Amino acid sequence: MAYGYRIGTLPITTVQRLPSYLRVVRELQRNGREVVSSARLGETLRLEAILVRKDFGYLGITGRPKSGYRISELITAIERCLNWQRVSEAVLAGAGHLGMALLGYQGFAHHGINIAAAFDVDPERVGVSVKGVEIQPLDRLEPEIAERGIRLAILTTSPEAAQAVAERLVAAGIEGIWNFTGATLLLPAQVIVQDQDIASGLAVLSAKLNARAAIPASLETP
């Protein structure tokens, strides 16, 4: 139940790899390539070729023996699966350091989203513009979401404020929350919450460094 089921027919792990595939094949397309083999993709992304083929199989993409997979077909299928063909609008709640960084990030258009409005409680931040988006007071959250019909929110408040702001987002009609706060949100089941916890990545790195320091090099991977 708590376990990460599938998304439609796709394993979650496959979906997680889609952006990497997309980045590489877009790059190949810019360089004029039209086909690519699973072996080549695996080499650039440090993945087993068979894993790449399985992933594409789940997507329903079929390649051709001898040549490989058609790049344009890959791009279309991945973008459709992620709904990244058209850019959808999102709101950003919490314009601290991280919120500002995400606002300033150029690449979201390639990832299917555009931050249409941003909000913060701090009066000092309200009125500041980043990339043409002006930070608004939190009272404007509900009307902006309603008027623009926005479904997706990026939550970058403090962990303390996260739950209360998330509830307002949901009440205003938001269906999906990309949660950077580290807080565990308690929301109705139909709201999709994706936790983006950078601490877990750091934990893995720390534990690996720690484990390696503790083991003499001669005993590694026996």
Partner DNA sequence: GACTGTGAATCTATTCACAGCG
Partner DNA sequence: CGCTGTGAATAGATTCACAGTC
Compute the distance between CA of residue 213 and CA of residue 190 in angstroms, rounded to an integer.
Answer: 45
Binding partner of 49, given a second copy, DNA, none, CB within 5-8 angstroms per partner class:
DNA
Does position 30 bind DNA by CB under 7 A? Answer: no
Does position 187 bind a second copy by CB under 8 A? Answer: no
Site for a second copy (CB under 8 A): which residue of 146, 164, 171, 211? Answer: 211
CB neighbour list of residue 66: distance below 8 Å, 6 or more residues apart:
none
66 vs 86 by CB, closer to a second copy: 86
Site for a second copy (CB under 8 A): which residue of 30, 31, 32, 46? Answer: 46
Does position 63 bind DNA by CB under 7 A? Answer: yes
Site for a second copy (CB under 8 A): which residue of 56, 76, 98, 165? Answer: 98
Name beta bridge partners: 130: 133
Site for a second copy (CB under 8 A): which residue of 39, 101, 109, 146? Answer: 101
Does position 127 bind DNA by CB under 7 A? Answer: no
Binding partner of 129, given DNA, a second copy, none, CB within 5-8 angstroms per partner class:
none
Own/partner pairs, 78-83, CB within 8 angstroms, 24+ separation: 78/18, 78/21, 78/22, 78/25, 79/22, 79/112, 81/10, 81/15, 81/18, 82/15, 82/18, 82/19, 82/22, 82/112, 83/112
Angle at 87 between CA 84 and CA 93, to 5 degrees: 110
Tokens 């077909």 sit on residue: 73
Does position 33 bind DNA by CB under 7 A? Answer: no
Binding partner of 205, given a second copy, DNA, none, CB within 5-8 angstroms per partner class:
a second copy
